[in-house]
Structure 1
């Protein structure tokens, strides 16, 4: 009797664990494919990335410290957007949180709609350059974006000060 209970418990546990392990493997594979595509594009641009990051299986960001170039890559389905930003044209990088306040029974709550890095230009006539890290229209929740924003803000500002 105890053997059958133990076997049933193991089978039930496997039924829950195996799909999770499978999904994580598929997500890692998707992330590696996205990163490989990103690296190929940056190599074609002649960049040697010093720092790079992939998140949410959609975004990639790379920094070539030598040339002071930043590459932002976003893949939506089969299409992709890539921005090459010359950091020599900017003086400061800051975190920009765009949100709205929603009234709830527990009081007002701020809902984050977009997270981005904002690059302030050297010239007053130039526009601020925004680098998207999160968009509520395309993703359901903020996960790893806040620590990434802080990390990249610091790295970019170090390059801008050099």
Structure 2
């Protein structure tokens, strides 16, 4: 091979790689900017989130393990909704989903966590992870809801083990 072919190959490759890299960096920066209000809100409530997830630029959930508090944040219309749940008051957690069948395919309309509370005015709390009206396509929200359900279930079972 001669050097001009190698140089042309490198330039052609750069024409494809550089824009993709630029777009990825821009998306990462946009997500970090969108995530900051979620982290600021948790800090305002005095929470130190050891574990947290942020998705679709409008949903966030986190766990303050030292205080055993779950923080949920949803910013749909520019007015954030914030909810703090004491995990000591949660007696059960389940992944709650609404879907319909269409030609053998399952189409999800909503995915969330339902927390059953003990000794509270409200018997349960629903934390949406995916709503069709907000987001058109699933991007792993079901898996994320299942992961957070497992985290909450682990907290419940470890609390019961300490009480025994």
- TM-score normalised by length of structure 1: 0.80
Question: 2:3 and 2:79 mapped to 1: Cα distance?
Answer: 54
The offset of 1:30, in angstroms, is 1.9
Unaligned stretches of 5+ in structure 1? none
Q: SS where residue 134 of structure 1 aligns? A: strand
The corresponding residue for 1:51 is 51
Q: Matched residue of 1:130: which SS?
A: strand
- Distance between the aligned counterparts of 1:10 and 1:77, measured in 2? 46
Q: In structure 2, what is the Cα distance between the partners aligned to 1:79 and 1:10?
A: 48
Q: Which structure carries more strand by proportion?
A: 1
- In the alignment, is the contact (CA less than 8 A) between 2:112 and 2:126 conserved in 1? yes
Alignment of 1:11-160 (within 5 A): 13-76=13-76, 78-103=78-103, 108-123=104-119, 126-160=122-156
Gaps of 5+ in 2: 160-164
Q: Once superposed, what is the RMSD of the aligned Cα atoms? A: 2.6
Cα offset, 1:27, TM superposition? 1.6
Count of residues paired in the alignment: 158
